[in-house]
Amino acid sequence: MLREAEVVVLGAGVAGLTLARLLWERGRKVLVVAEALGEASRPPVALVNPLRGRRFTLAEEGERALAAALAFYGRFVPLHLGVFRPVPEEDRPKVAGRLSRLKHRWEKEGVLLEEAFWLEPRPLLARLAEGLPLLRGRVLAWEPPWLVLEGGGRVRGEVLVYAGGGRGAHLLGLEGRHVPGLVLTLLDYFPRAVSYRVYLAGAALGGSYLPGEEGYRLPPPTEGEVEWLLQGAEALVGYRPRVASLWRGVRFRLSSFLFPVEGGFALTGLGSTGFLYAPLLAERLAERL
Ligand SMILES: Cc1cc2nc3c(=O)[nH]c(=O)nc-3n(C[C@H](O)[C@H](O)[C@H](O)COP(=O)(O)OP(=O)(O)OC[C@H]3O[C@@H](n4cnc5c(N)ncnc54)[C@H](O)[C@@H]3O)c2cc1C
């Protein structure tokens, strides 16, 4: 088997599919090669929230990334607008100072980010992939201009883009942080996202309890982890939601998300902000290609 395209994208997660979709819409000959539709990109729910963590850090270029994400994803799936961030009393002046350009409204317990949102990644990936040339297979080696596939096939790209997340990082020797996270799917439903330590949105409760590691590994859920999530939820909404099932994923974090590599570019290492940054960075890369 031999196939070629102008741009060959390794990976069909939110990074690879967003880029491939933008190139395809610009009339470029693009081919996506992936084992599956998304890996880390398959949590039941994803928050697109530029105000990060318990320190309320404003993500770099957060407002611009949010605007790009709103415009892009809104074409494919429903967006559930509004992320509520409870803010401890002592942090309010600091947080207020960071919010100027983000549309928001203060409430008694914290701040509502009116244009932050949550969405369901699985239908999003399916919609992004519709009509795109996609070759299912495992890539064993990155040998520009070739990708070498399991079973002996090869794919040739004038430009290769690595968007293989943490699972494929060894192909390029990318060394980053792999942080396992757990999401519980719930019988309860939270139309408005709320996030502090853990997050509740739609029928999902998520957070990161385990420390980061150097290699990619999918550890089984632990009892402590589930208990920690449920305690976090109780602190937010006053009761423990009922759990239906579990989803484990691994975030892959690098210090830079878009950079040149041999034979092309990498768009990867997006940590816990993949859905926030993918449209902004994919647009930038699509302009360059
Ligand atoms: C528990 C959890 C919750 C999260 N919550 C959020 C959230 O609320 N908001 C947010 O913005 N982000 C969230 N994230 C992070 C976000 O999911 C990631 O940043 C994002 O999904 C990364 O996307 P990606 O396209 O880079 O990689 P991935 O989704 O991991 O995609 C990698 C792709 O490459 C393919 N691939 C890899 N290796 C090979 C190979 N050798 N051969 C062929 N194909 C290969 C895979 O099949 C897959 O298609 C969360 C992550 C986790 C784990």
Mean pLDDT of 33-40: 97
Q: Is the dihedral of CA 74, 65, 217, 193 positive or negative?
A: negative
**Which residues fall within 8 angstroms of residue 155, CB to CB, at 6 or more apart?**
2, 3, 4, 5, 8, 31, 33, 135, 146, 147, 149
One domain, residues 85 and 192 = no
Query: For atom 22 of ligand 1, which residue has the closest CA?
Result: 274
Q: How confident is the model at residue 76 (pLDDT cuts 50, 70, 90)?
A: very high
Q: How confident is the model at residue 221 (pLDDT cuts 50, 70, 90)?
A: confident
Residue 17 sits in a domain of what CATH number? Answer: 3.50.50.60
List, for residues 150-205, the tens digit of each pLDDT value. Answer: 999 999 999 999 999 999 999 999 999 999 899 999 999 999 999 999 999 999 99
Q: Determine if the pTM surpasses 0.85.
A: yes
CA of 44 to the centre of ligand 1 (A): 12
In this structure, are residues 289 and 73 in contact, taking their beta carbons and an 8 Å threshold?
no
One domain, residues 34 and 145 = yes
One domain, residues 88 and 123 = yes
Lowest mean pLDDT among 42-51, 93-102, 154-163: 93-102
12 CB near ligand 1 (under 6 Å): yes
**CA atoms in the 13 A half-sphere facing the CB of 96:** 9
Nearest to 79 by CA among 107, 116, 38: 116
Count of domains forming the chain: 2
Q: How many Cβ atoms are within 10 Å of 132's Cβ, its own excluded? A: 17
Ligand 1 pocket test, candidate residues 270, 276, 277, 285, most atoms within 8 A of CB: 270
* pLDDT(2) > 70: no
Q: Whole domain around residue 231: which residue ranges? A: 177-251
One domain, residues 268 and 157 = yes
One domain, residues 223 and 133 = no
One domain, residues 149 and 260 = yes
Ligand 1 pocket test, candidate residues 17, 19, 35, most atoms within 8 A of CB: 35
List, for residues 233-283, the tens digit of each pLDDT value. Answer: 999 999 999 999 999 999 999 999 999 999 999 999 999 999 999 999 999
C-alpha–C-alpha distance, residues 225 and 35, integer Å:
29
One domain, residues 71 and 124 = yes
Query: For atom 14 of ligand 1, which residue has the closest CA?
Result: 272
